[in-house]
Amino acid sequence: MPRRFIRRDNWEFGGKPEPTKVESAEPKSRKRRLASTLVFTTIFFAGASLAAVAGDQLRPLVVNDAQELAAPDATTTAEETTTAEATDASAPDASTAEEPAAAAAPAPADATAAPADSADATTADEAVAPLRTSTLAPAASTGAAAQADPGAPKPAGKAARGWKKTQLRTILLPKLKPAPTPELEGPADASTIWINSQLPDPTPPALRLSPKFAANLQAAAKGAGLDWSTMLGILRARGATGHSPTGLATLRKLASRLATYGPAKGDWARIVSYSGDTSFADRAAALARYDRAVGLTALTKGLEAAKKSIATRLLSDPSVSIYESGRNDMVLNRVDVRVLTVIAYLRESFGQVSVSSLITGHRLYARPGVISAHIAGHAVDISGLGSTSIQGHQEPGGMTERAVRDILLLPVEVMPRQVISLLGMGGPSFPMADHYNHIHIGF
Protein backbone atom coordinates (compact mmCIF):
# COMPACT_ATOMS: atom_id res chain seq x y z
CA MET A 1 0.00 0.00 0.00
CA PRO A 2 1.59 3.26 -1.00
CA ARG A 3 2.55 5.94 1.75
CA ARG A 4 0.40 8.98 1.93
CA PHE A 5 2.04 12.24 2.88
CA ILE A 6 -0.07 14.73 4.82
CA ARG A 7 0.96 18.38 5.06
CA ARG A 8 1.20 19.56 8.68
CA ASP A 9 0.36 23.10 7.77
CA ASN A 10 -3.01 22.16 6.41
CA TRP A 11 -5.76 24.17 8.07
CA GLU A 12 -7.67 21.16 8.91
CA PHE A 13 -4.85 20.03 11.21
CA GLY A 14 -4.48 23.36 12.96
CA GLY A 15 -1.94 24.82 10.65
CA LYS A 16 -2.10 28.31 9.20
CA PRO A 17 -3.56 28.57 5.75
CA GLU A 18 -1.14 29.63 3.11
CA PRO A 19 -1.99 33.15 1.90
CA THR A 20 -3.30 33.39 -1.55
CA LYS A 21 -0.88 35.14 -3.77
CA VAL A 22 -2.33 37.94 -5.85
CA GLU A 23 0.02 39.34 -8.36
CA SER A 24 -1.78 42.74 -8.77
CA ALA A 25 -2.18 43.65 -5.00
CA GLU A 26 1.07 45.68 -4.64
CA PRO A 27 0.46 48.02 -7.59
CA LYS A 28 -3.06 48.81 -6.31
CA SER A 29 -1.76 49.74 -2.78
CA ARG A 30 0.75 52.19 -4.27
CA LYS A 31 -1.97 53.94 -6.24
CA ARG A 32 -4.11 54.34 -3.13
CA ARG A 33 -1.27 55.77 -1.08
CA LEU A 34 -0.43 58.25 -3.85
CA ALA A 35 -4.06 59.40 -4.08
CA SER A 36 -4.30 59.86 -0.29
CA THR A 37 -1.08 61.85 -0.25
CA LEU A 38 -2.34 64.16 -2.97
CA VAL A 39 -5.67 64.70 -1.16
CA PHE A 40 -4.06 65.56 2.20
CA THR A 41 -1.47 67.79 0.55
CA THR A 42 -4.24 69.71 -1.19
CA ILE A 43 -6.16 70.10 2.07
CA PHE A 44 -3.02 71.31 3.91
CA PHE A 45 -2.18 74.00 1.38
CA ALA A 46 -5.83 75.12 1.21
CA GLY A 47 -5.88 75.52 5.01
CA ALA A 48 -2.59 77.43 4.95
CA SER A 49 -3.94 79.79 2.30
CA LEU A 50 -7.11 80.40 4.30
CA ALA A 51 -5.07 81.14 7.44
CA ALA A 52 -2.88 83.61 5.53
CA VAL A 53 -5.92 85.47 4.17
CA ALA A 54 -7.48 85.64 7.64
CA GLY A 55 -4.21 86.94 9.08
CA ASP A 56 -4.05 89.71 6.48
CA GLN A 57 -7.59 90.76 7.35
CA LEU A 58 -6.89 90.70 11.11
CA ARG A 59 -3.53 92.51 10.99
CA PRO A 60 -4.97 96.11 10.62
CA LEU A 61 -7.15 95.63 13.69
CA VAL A 62 -4.21 94.27 15.68
CA VAL A 63 -2.07 97.24 14.60
CA ASN A 64 -4.78 99.65 15.67
CA ASP A 65 -5.10 97.92 19.05
CA ALA A 66 -1.37 98.22 19.60
CA GLN A 67 -1.47 101.92 18.76
CA GLU A 68 -4.35 102.59 21.13
CA LEU A 69 -2.66 100.76 23.98
CA ALA A 70 0.76 102.29 23.33
CA ALA A 71 -0.61 105.87 23.17
CA PRO A 72 -0.63 106.54 26.95
CA ASP A 73 3.06 105.54 27.08
CA ALA A 74 3.89 108.36 24.65
CA THR A 75 2.64 110.96 27.15
CA THR A 76 4.87 109.84 30.01
CA THR A 77 7.99 111.81 30.91
CA ALA A 78 11.54 110.71 30.19
CA GLU A 79 12.06 109.89 33.86
CA GLU A 80 9.03 107.56 33.90
CA THR A 81 10.27 105.88 30.70
CA THR A 82 13.68 105.21 32.25
CA THR A 83 12.06 103.72 35.37
CA ALA A 84 9.80 101.53 33.23
CA GLU A 85 12.74 100.21 31.21
CA ALA A 86 14.65 99.37 34.39
CA THR A 87 11.66 97.46 35.72
CA ASP A 88 11.04 95.64 32.43
CA ALA A 89 14.67 94.44 32.31
CA SER A 90 13.80 91.65 34.76
CA ALA A 91 10.37 90.94 33.24
CA PRO A 92 9.50 88.04 30.84
CA ASP A 93 10.17 88.25 27.11
CA ALA A 94 6.62 89.39 26.44
CA SER A 95 7.17 92.73 28.20
CA THR A 96 10.52 93.15 26.42
CA ALA A 97 8.84 92.66 23.07
CA GLU A 98 6.27 95.31 23.95
CA GLU A 99 8.81 98.15 24.47
CA PRO A 100 9.76 98.85 20.82
CA ALA A 101 6.11 98.69 19.81
CA ALA A 102 5.21 101.31 22.42
CA ALA A 103 8.03 103.55 21.22
CA ALA A 104 7.20 103.14 17.53
CA ALA A 105 3.42 103.49 17.76
CA PRO A 106 2.29 107.10 17.15
CA ALA A 107 -0.12 108.93 19.44
CA PRO A 108 -3.79 108.91 18.35
CA ALA A 109 -4.95 111.84 16.23
CA ASP A 110 -7.91 112.54 18.51
CA ALA A 111 -6.56 114.95 21.12
CA THR A 112 -9.61 114.56 23.33
CA ALA A 113 -8.89 110.84 23.80
CA ALA A 114 -5.62 111.59 25.61
CA PRO A 115 -5.67 111.79 29.42
CA ALA A 116 -6.39 115.23 30.90
CA ASP A 117 -3.20 115.37 32.97
CA SER A 118 -0.20 113.28 34.00
CA ALA A 119 -2.00 111.88 37.04
CA ASP A 120 -4.81 110.52 34.88
CA ALA A 121 -2.28 109.13 32.38
CA THR A 122 -0.46 107.28 35.18
CA THR A 123 -3.74 105.81 36.43
CA ALA A 124 -4.66 104.66 32.93
CA ASP A 125 -1.24 103.01 32.43
CA GLU A 126 -1.53 101.15 35.72
CA ALA A 127 -4.94 99.82 34.74
CA VAL A 128 -3.83 98.69 31.26
CA ALA A 129 -0.32 97.40 32.05
CA PRO A 130 -1.15 93.86 33.30
CA LEU A 131 -3.42 93.02 30.38
CA ARG A 132 -1.16 94.68 27.82
CA THR A 133 2.00 92.90 29.05
CA SER A 134 0.46 89.44 29.15
CA THR A 135 -1.69 89.34 26.03
CA LEU A 136 -1.06 92.26 23.72
CA ALA A 137 2.72 92.56 23.55
CA PRO A 138 3.01 90.22 20.52
CA ALA A 139 0.24 92.15 18.83
CA ALA A 140 2.09 95.40 19.45
CA SER A 141 5.27 93.96 17.96
CA THR A 142 3.32 92.73 14.96
CA GLY A 143 1.85 96.21 14.56
CA ALA A 144 5.30 97.80 14.62
CA ALA A 145 6.55 95.36 11.99
CA ALA A 146 3.50 96.08 9.85
CA GLN A 147 4.22 99.79 9.99
CA ALA A 148 7.84 99.24 8.98
CA ASP A 149 6.76 97.07 6.04
CA PRO A 150 5.77 99.37 3.13
CA GLY A 151 3.86 96.57 1.48
CA ALA A 152 1.59 95.97 4.46
CA PRO A 153 -2.15 96.47 3.84
CA LYS A 154 -3.70 99.78 4.86
CA PRO A 155 -5.64 99.98 8.15
CA ALA A 156 -9.36 99.41 8.19
CA GLY A 157 -11.89 102.21 7.64
CA LYS A 158 -12.73 105.00 10.09
CA ALA A 159 -15.77 103.13 11.35
CA ALA A 160 -13.74 100.09 12.40
CA ARG A 161 -11.05 102.23 14.05
CA GLY A 162 -13.63 104.27 15.93
CA TRP A 163 -15.40 101.12 17.12
CA LYS A 164 -12.19 99.53 18.36
CA LYS A 165 -11.10 102.75 20.08
CA THR A 166 -14.42 103.05 21.88
CA GLN A 167 -14.43 99.44 22.95
CA LEU A 168 -10.85 99.44 24.20
CA ARG A 169 -11.15 102.68 26.14
CA THR A 170 -14.48 101.62 27.59
CA ILE A 171 -13.12 98.29 28.77
CA LEU A 172 -9.53 99.08 29.71
CA LEU A 173 -9.42 102.70 30.88
CA PRO A 174 -10.94 103.93 34.16
CA LYS A 175 -13.77 106.46 34.13
CA LEU A 176 -12.68 110.04 34.88
CA LYS A 177 -14.77 111.91 37.41
CA PRO A 178 -15.62 115.52 36.43
CA ALA A 179 -13.74 118.18 38.37
CA PRO A 180 -15.81 120.21 40.88
CA THR A 181 -16.95 123.63 39.76
CA PRO A 182 -14.32 126.13 40.95
CA GLU A 183 -15.10 129.33 42.78
CA LEU A 184 -14.75 132.01 40.12
CA GLU A 185 -14.49 135.78 39.99
CA GLY A 186 -15.30 135.55 36.28
CA PRO A 187 -16.63 133.00 33.80
CA ALA A 188 -14.76 129.72 33.45
CA ASP A 189 -13.79 130.41 29.83
CA ALA A 190 -12.86 134.06 30.38
CA SER A 191 -9.72 135.14 28.60
CA THR A 192 -8.86 137.66 31.34
CA ILE A 193 -5.88 136.58 33.44
CA TRP A 194 -5.11 138.64 36.49
CA ILE A 195 -1.47 139.69 36.71
CA ASN A 196 -1.05 141.02 40.23
CA SER A 197 1.74 143.50 39.65
CA GLN A 198 1.84 147.25 40.01
CA LEU A 199 -0.08 148.81 37.12
CA PRO A 200 1.36 151.89 35.40
CA ASP A 201 -0.23 155.32 35.49
CA PRO A 202 -3.38 155.11 33.34
CA THR A 203 -2.76 158.67 32.12
CA PRO A 204 0.75 158.84 30.62
CA PRO A 205 2.07 162.23 29.41
CA ALA A 206 0.51 161.73 25.97
CA LEU A 207 -2.99 161.71 27.53
CA ARG A 208 -2.57 164.64 29.87
CA LEU A 209 -3.78 168.16 29.27
CA SER A 210 -1.23 170.91 28.87
CA PRO A 211 -1.14 173.49 31.71
CA LYS A 212 -1.84 176.27 29.17
CA PHE A 213 -5.01 174.61 27.89
CA ALA A 214 -6.15 173.94 31.48
CA ALA A 215 -5.72 177.65 32.30
CA ASN A 216 -7.61 178.75 29.19
CA LEU A 217 -10.40 176.26 29.93
CA GLN A 218 -10.87 177.55 33.45
CA ALA A 219 -10.82 181.17 32.31
CA ALA A 220 -13.41 180.63 29.56
CA ALA A 221 -15.76 178.66 31.83
CA LYS A 222 -15.50 181.15 34.65
CA GLY A 223 -16.20 184.07 32.30
CA ALA A 224 -19.46 182.44 31.14
CA GLY A 225 -20.49 181.23 34.60
CA LEU A 226 -20.13 177.56 33.62
CA ASP A 227 -18.39 174.51 35.01
CA TRP A 228 -15.13 173.73 33.22
CA SER A 229 -15.89 169.98 33.41
CA THR A 230 -19.05 170.41 31.33
CA MET A 231 -17.13 172.16 28.56
CA LEU A 232 -14.34 169.57 28.63
CA GLY A 233 -16.88 166.71 28.56
CA ILE A 234 -18.49 168.15 25.43
CA LEU A 235 -15.11 168.58 23.72
CA ARG A 236 -14.05 165.02 24.50
CA ALA A 237 -17.40 163.60 23.42
CA ARG A 238 -16.85 165.41 20.10
CA GLY A 239 -13.50 163.61 19.75
CA ALA A 240 -11.19 166.48 20.75
CA THR A 241 -8.28 164.86 22.62
CA GLY A 242 -4.57 165.37 23.21
CA HIS A 243 -2.64 167.98 25.12
CA SER A 244 -4.72 170.84 23.70
CA PRO A 245 -8.10 169.62 22.45
CA THR A 246 -8.88 173.07 21.05
CA GLY A 247 -7.74 176.71 21.10
CA LEU A 248 -8.77 179.66 23.23
CA ALA A 249 -11.09 181.09 20.58
CA THR A 250 -13.09 177.86 20.31
CA LEU A 251 -13.31 177.64 24.09
CA ARG A 252 -14.81 181.12 24.27
CA LYS A 253 -17.34 180.40 21.50
CA LEU A 254 -18.43 177.17 23.20
CA ALA A 255 -18.81 178.89 26.56
CA SER A 256 -20.82 181.71 25.02
CA ARG A 257 -23.14 179.29 23.24
CA LEU A 258 -23.75 177.19 26.34
CA ALA A 259 -24.49 180.29 28.38
CA THR A 260 -27.30 181.36 25.97
CA TYR A 261 -29.42 178.38 27.02
CA GLY A 262 -29.95 179.99 30.42
CA PRO A 263 -29.93 178.14 33.72
CA ALA A 264 -30.26 174.39 33.40
CA LYS A 265 -30.63 171.71 36.04
CA GLY A 266 -27.53 169.56 35.70
CA ASP A 267 -25.00 168.87 33.00
CA TRP A 268 -27.22 166.50 31.06
CA ALA A 269 -30.05 169.02 30.57
CA ARG A 270 -27.64 171.73 29.44
CA ILE A 271 -25.88 169.38 27.02
CA VAL A 272 -29.19 168.20 25.55
CA SER A 273 -30.18 171.83 25.01
CA TYR A 274 -26.86 172.40 23.28
CA SER A 275 -26.78 169.27 21.06
CA GLY A 276 -30.36 168.00 20.86
CA ASP A 277 -28.99 164.42 21.06
CA THR A 278 -29.66 162.38 24.19
CA SER A 279 -27.03 159.74 23.36
CA PHE A 280 -24.39 162.43 22.96
CA ALA A 281 -25.61 164.02 26.20
CA ASP A 282 -25.18 160.70 28.05
CA ARG A 283 -21.59 160.39 26.88
CA ALA A 284 -20.64 164.03 27.45
CA ALA A 285 -22.29 164.17 30.89
CA ALA A 286 -20.46 160.99 31.99
CA LEU A 287 -17.14 162.43 30.87
CA ALA A 288 -17.93 165.68 32.71
CA ARG A 289 -18.59 163.74 35.93
CA TYR A 290 -15.33 161.84 35.52
CA ASP A 291 -13.36 165.08 34.99
CA ARG A 292 -14.96 166.63 38.04
CA ALA A 293 -14.33 163.51 40.16
CA VAL A 294 -10.58 163.41 39.53
CA GLY A 295 -9.95 167.16 39.29
CA LEU A 296 -8.07 169.32 36.83
CA THR A 297 -4.74 168.69 38.57
CA ALA A 298 -5.00 164.93 37.87
CA LEU A 299 -5.83 165.66 34.22
CA THR A 300 -2.68 167.75 33.78
CA LYS A 301 -0.18 165.88 36.01
CA GLY A 302 -1.55 162.33 35.88
CA LEU A 303 -3.76 160.26 38.13
CA GLU A 304 -0.85 158.85 40.12
CA ALA A 305 0.23 162.36 41.06
CA ALA A 306 -3.28 163.07 42.35
CA LYS A 307 -3.79 159.68 44.04
CA LYS A 308 -3.16 160.95 47.56
CA SER A 309 -5.57 163.86 47.21
CA ILE A 310 -8.32 161.60 45.75
CA ALA A 311 -7.92 159.08 48.60
CA THR A 312 -7.96 161.85 51.22
CA ARG A 313 -11.14 163.30 49.74
CA LEU A 314 -12.87 159.89 49.74
CA LEU A 315 -11.85 159.10 53.33
CA SER A 316 -13.14 162.45 54.58
CA ASP A 317 -16.41 162.35 52.61
CA PRO A 318 -19.37 161.21 54.79
CA SER A 319 -21.24 160.17 51.62
CA VAL A 320 -18.61 157.50 50.91
CA SER A 321 -19.14 154.49 53.19
CA ILE A 322 -16.12 152.18 53.41
CA TYR A 323 -15.67 149.37 55.93
CA GLU A 324 -12.92 149.91 58.48
CA SER A 325 -10.38 147.43 57.03
CA GLY A 326 -10.92 148.91 53.58
CA ARG A 327 -10.22 152.40 54.87
CA ASN A 328 -6.99 151.06 56.33
CA ASP A 329 -6.08 149.63 52.91
CA MET A 330 -6.47 153.11 51.43
CA VAL A 331 -4.44 154.74 54.21
CA LEU A 332 -1.60 152.26 53.59
CA ASN A 333 -1.65 153.18 49.87
CA ARG A 334 -2.44 149.62 48.81
CA VAL A 335 -5.41 150.44 46.54
CA ASP A 336 -4.83 151.20 42.86
CA VAL A 337 -5.66 154.71 41.66
CA ARG A 338 -8.13 153.30 39.10
CA VAL A 339 -10.22 151.88 41.94
CA LEU A 340 -10.18 155.19 43.77
CA THR A 341 -11.17 156.95 40.55
CA VAL A 342 -14.20 154.68 40.02
CA ILE A 343 -15.36 155.19 43.61
CA ALA A 344 -15.06 158.98 43.21
CA TYR A 345 -16.86 158.78 39.85
CA LEU A 346 -19.79 156.82 41.30
CA ARG A 347 -19.93 159.27 44.21
CA GLU A 348 -20.24 162.10 41.68
CA SER A 349 -22.94 160.22 39.74
CA PHE A 350 -25.14 158.96 42.60
CA GLY A 351 -24.28 161.25 45.51
CA GLN A 352 -23.53 158.30 47.81
CA VAL A 353 -21.56 155.05 47.45
CA SER A 354 -21.01 152.06 49.78
CA VAL A 355 -17.87 149.94 49.40
CA SER A 356 -18.11 146.36 50.74
CA SER A 357 -14.73 144.92 49.66
CA LEU A 358 -11.33 146.25 48.69
CA ILE A 359 -8.37 144.11 49.81
CA THR A 360 -8.72 143.03 53.41
CA GLY A 361 -11.50 140.51 53.95
CA HIS A 362 -11.61 139.18 50.38
CA ARG A 363 -10.67 135.57 49.57
CA LEU A 364 -7.20 134.96 48.21
CA TYR A 365 -8.07 133.11 44.99
CA ALA A 366 -10.46 134.32 42.30
CA ARG A 367 -10.33 130.82 40.79
CA PRO A 368 -8.02 127.87 41.40
CA GLY A 369 -4.41 128.93 40.92
CA VAL A 370 -5.21 132.59 40.14
CA ILE A 371 -4.84 135.25 42.83
CA SER A 372 -7.83 137.58 43.05
CA ALA A 373 -7.48 141.12 41.71
CA HIS A 374 -8.74 142.33 45.10
CA ILE A 375 -5.54 141.12 46.78
CA ALA A 376 -3.42 143.45 44.63
CA GLY A 377 -5.83 146.37 45.12
CA HIS A 378 -7.09 146.24 41.53
CA ALA A 379 -10.78 145.62 42.27
CA VAL A 380 -13.67 146.92 44.36
CA ASP A 381 -17.14 145.62 45.30
CA ILE A 382 -19.93 148.21 45.47
CA SER A 383 -22.85 147.18 47.70
CA GLY A 384 -24.92 150.37 47.58
CA LEU A 385 -25.46 153.55 45.55
CA GLY A 386 -27.53 156.61 46.39
CA SER A 387 -28.28 155.14 49.85
CA THR A 388 -29.95 152.14 48.12
CA SER A 389 -28.67 148.58 48.41
CA ILE A 390 -27.63 146.75 45.25
CA GLN A 391 -29.36 143.62 46.54
CA GLY A 392 -32.95 143.60 45.40
CA HIS A 393 -32.42 146.45 42.91
CA GLN A 394 -30.92 144.72 39.89
CA GLU A 395 -34.06 144.71 37.77
CA PRO A 396 -33.86 145.95 34.15
CA GLY A 397 -34.10 149.72 34.08
CA GLY A 398 -33.27 150.00 37.80
CA MET A 399 -30.45 151.59 39.71
CA THR A 400 -27.90 148.83 39.06
CA GLU A 401 -28.46 149.04 35.31
CA ARG A 402 -27.90 152.79 35.43
CA ALA A 403 -24.68 152.30 37.40
CA VAL A 404 -23.35 149.72 34.92
CA ARG A 405 -24.19 152.03 32.01
CA ASP A 406 -22.33 154.90 33.70
CA ILE A 407 -19.28 152.69 34.28
CA LEU A 408 -19.26 151.68 30.61
CA LEU A 409 -19.11 155.40 29.64
CA LEU A 410 -15.79 155.98 31.41
CA PRO A 411 -12.74 157.01 29.34
CA VAL A 412 -10.76 154.21 27.77
CA GLU A 413 -7.74 154.72 30.04
CA VAL A 414 -9.75 153.89 33.17
CA MET A 415 -12.25 151.43 31.67
CA PRO A 416 -12.55 148.31 33.91
CA ARG A 417 -11.81 144.88 32.54
CA GLN A 418 -14.67 143.28 34.49
CA VAL A 419 -18.02 144.71 35.58
CA ILE A 420 -19.97 141.84 37.17
CA SER A 421 -23.53 141.98 38.48
CA LEU A 422 -26.75 140.20 37.52
CA LEU A 423 -26.85 142.22 34.28
CA GLY A 424 -24.86 141.76 31.08
CA MET A 425 -24.85 144.96 29.06
CA GLY A 426 -22.00 144.36 26.65
CA GLY A 427 -18.36 145.31 26.77
CA PRO A 428 -16.61 144.13 29.94
CA SER A 429 -19.93 143.64 31.79
CA PHE A 430 -21.44 140.18 32.27
CA PRO A 431 -23.80 138.51 34.75
CA MET A 432 -23.00 136.02 37.50
CA ALA A 433 -25.56 134.61 39.90
CA ASP A 434 -23.42 135.03 43.02
CA HIS A 435 -23.15 138.81 42.44
CA TYR A 436 -26.74 139.49 43.45
CA ASN A 437 -25.74 141.85 46.27
CA HIS A 438 -22.86 143.84 44.81
CA ILE A 439 -21.20 145.10 41.62
CA HIS A 440 -17.67 143.84 41.09
CA ILE A 441 -15.39 146.27 39.23
CA GLY A 442 -11.94 144.91 38.39
CA PHE A 443 -8.90 146.18 36.50
Neighbours of 214 (CB within 10 A): 20
pLDDT in tens, 91-121: 444 333 333 333 334 444 343 333 334 434 3
pLDDT (0 to 100) of residue 67:
55
* pTM reported for the whole predicted model: 0.57
DSSP 273-291: HHH--HHHHHHHHHHHHHH
pLDDT in tens, 31-60: 788 888 888 888 888 887 777 766 666 666
180 vs 212, residue with greater confidence: 212
**b vs e for 245-263, b when ≥16 Cβ sit within 10 Å of the residue's Cβ?**
bbeeeebeebbeebeeeee
Which of 75-89, 247-261, 316-330 is the least confident region? 75-89
pLDDT (0 to 100) of residue 351:
95
pLDDT (0 to 100) of residue 348:
95
CA dihedral 327, 332, 336, 338 (to 10 degrees): 50
Q: With beta carbons less than 8 A apart as the criterion, state whether 377 and 386 touch.
A: no
> Topology of domain 307-443, per CATH?
Muramoyl-pentapeptide Carboxypeptidase; domain 2 (3.30.1380)
Region 405-430: what's the mean pLDDT? 94
pLDDT (0 to 100) of residue 31:
79
DSSP 134: I
Quick one: pLDDT band at residue 69, thresholds 50, 70, 90?
A: very low
Q: With beta carbons less than 8 A apart as the criterion, state whether 440 and 415 touch.
A: no
- Who contacts 21 (Cβ-Cβ below 8 Å, separation ≥6)? none
Domain boundaries, the chain: 31-172, 198-305, 307-443
pLDDT in tens, 320-329: 999 999 999 9
Region 304-327: what's the mean pLDDT? 95
Which of 23-37, 232-246, 395-409 is the least confident region? 23-37
